[in-house]
Amino acid sequence: MQVPAQVEYEKATSVEQALALLARYAPGARILAGGHSLIPMMKLRLAQPEVLIDINAITGLRYIQPTNGELRIGALARHADLLAAPVASEHFAILRDAERVIADPVVRQWGTIGGSLCQADPSEDLSAAFAALKGSMIIHGPDGSREVSARAFHTGPYQTVVGPDEMLTEIRLPIRLDGGSAYMKVARRIGDWPIAAAGAAVWLAGDGDRIADVGIGLTAVGATHFVAAEAEEFLRGQPANEETLARAGEIAAEHCRPGSDQRGPADYKRHLVRELTARVLRLAISRARGQAP
């Protein structure tokens, strides 16, 4: 069995202490949260930090709470916390949909939301969900904190705007009561990474027959910042009918850039994007109208 290379271990009990340790050891240090992505990467020598800074004892970073019209999710909240949180399900069905199909109960028990986002795997499900919801991330560093849009958080595969001496501390999602949202993915097996997935958040106007605003996230298909921007632009102001949703699916499929790999050929992934985009939009609209749970 492969084992990670030798590494120094430090334990932080506060954000301040974690930042001080990062300042001392960066760029050779990595934060350790649930370890479900980092430890396998270390075993494969794809990551070779000299120092691990364990943040699991910063218990104040494990929360999911509504504050000032936003849902605030601490970086150390686990997938299982998000799945179980009534406040998340009540306002963001897309998160419940996504969490139900992320990995398995063991991974969800340990894997953190912050670790998932900072790993920045192009097949990671929550990035598309947070992009659809137009959320933002709070990053702490030596110069204080900054807020970055979820749509600007990733700079490429396995890359984010979080610097080597910074850490992600919180995710914020605006709570808008007039909308509905949904997430669907196709994977080869239950609990597997997606072949392709889509998430949508829709806000309706008038009597609920027109799309006022929309966010569409795509996973594992090479969409820039996980967003189907062209389909979103097309949908704003359009009637919320089947023809419009089908066209939005076509546009999303045209503009994404899936690659062929062990999970499937590119043309199949494009087909999934077309179908899944229309389906999540349909379900999100039904939820916005109070016609679906």
Ligand X SMILES: Cc1cc2nc3c(=O)[nH]c(=O)nc-3n(C[C@H](O)[C@H](O)[C@H](O)COP(=O)(O)OP(=O)(O)OC[C@H]3O[C@@H](n4cnc5c(N)ncnc54)[C@H](O)[C@@H]3O)c2cc1C
Closer of 163 and 239 to ligand X (Cβ): 163
Is residue 129 classed as helix, strand or coil in its secondary structure?
helix
Contact between 32 and ligand X (CB under 6 A)?
yes
Asked if residues 150 and 136 have their Cβ atoms less than 8 Å apart, the reply is yes
Site string (37-56) toward ligand X, x via CB under 6 A:
xx------------------
Q: Which of 77, 102, 173, 227 binds ligand X (CB under 6 A)?
A: 102
Closer of 107 and 246 to ligand X (Cβ): 107
CA proximity to 42, closest of 11, 7, 75: 7
Contacting residues for 277 by C-beta, under 8 A, at least 6 apart: 198, 200, 216, 218, 228, 231, 245, 248, 249, 252, 253
Task: List the beta bridge partners of residue 211.
Answer: 204
Closer of 195 and 248 to ligand X (Cβ): 195
Residue ranges in 236-275 that form contacts with ligand X under rule CB under 6 A: none
DSSP assignment of 35-78: -TTHHHHHHTTS---SEEEE-TT-GGG--EEEETTEEEEETT-B
Contact between 35 and ligand X (CB under 6 A)?
yes
Contact between 218 and ligand X (CB under 6 A)?
no
Residue ranges in 186-215 that form contacts with ligand X under rule CB under 6 A: 193
The least CB distance from residue 51 to ligand X, in Å, is 11
Binding site for ligand X (CB under 6 A): 30-38, 75, 102-103, 107, 110-112, 114-116, 118-119, 124-126, 162, 167-168, 193
